[in-house]
Amino acid sequence: MKVFGIDPGSARTGYGCVETDGTRHRLLICGAITPPPTASFPDKLRLLHRELLALLEECGPACVAIENIFHAANVRSALKLGHARGVALLAASEAGLQVVEYSPAEIKRAVVGYGRAEKAQVQEMVRLLLGLRLAPSPHDVADALAVAICHIHTNSGAKSSRGARGARAATSWRRLRPADLSALSGRIRG
């Protein structure tokens, strides 16, 4: 099964597609859609919509998992984030895909085991669960992959999985050890 994760944002939207056989997860594609800062807000939304539609067509996922809004620094930020989420939901709907939504705490619990985990902990667990050499960066990309992994774990009842090399997966962020930080394969875009 392929799950496409989206971490929406008006300045940068992270995305990632994860394929799983139920026990092992494999990164198919990930990156960030970053409109030019000088573009008007409607143009940023149009670019986000166009890019997401193209990515969904390319990946052919079974469903789209997206992060819910939980809070924003101010009303203006919340409105802009809401617009970006709406565009992401529209793109998924136009692609004919089922959409599931998860709160940040649900995502962190499913991936790290702790609902108040820090961004670096999420990045590292995503790296381990997908068997990557480097943690996905920027954090929007790791968050999008975490949303996809959350959906996989929620649907399969899996608590953890094994990395690409078959090593025992960490069951807690406290057990993480520094990893080989050689270059990540060419799967990251953006």
How high is the mean pLDDT in each 10-residue block of the chain (190 residues)? Answer: 95 97 94 96 97 98 91 80 95 97 95 93 96 95 97 71 37 45 44
pLDDT at 189: 59
Q: To the nearest 10°, report the CA torsion of 98, 100, 85, 47.
A: -40
pLDDT at 72: 65
Name the residue ranges covered by the structural domains of the chain: 2-175
Among left, alpha and beta (phi > 0; psi -120 to 50; other), residue 72 is beta
DSSP 3-state assignment of 36? coil
User: Could you tell me which of 48, 51, 42, 155 has the C-alpha nearest to residue 98?
Assistant: 155
**Which CATH number fits the domain 2-175, given the four candidates 3.30.70.580, 2.40.50.100, 3.20.20.70, 3.30.420.10?**
3.30.420.10
Active site residues: 7, 67, 140
- Interstrand relation of 2-7 and 25-33 (parallel, antiparallel or unpaired): unpaired
pLDDT at 183: 37
pLDDT at 166: 35
pLDDT at 155: 87
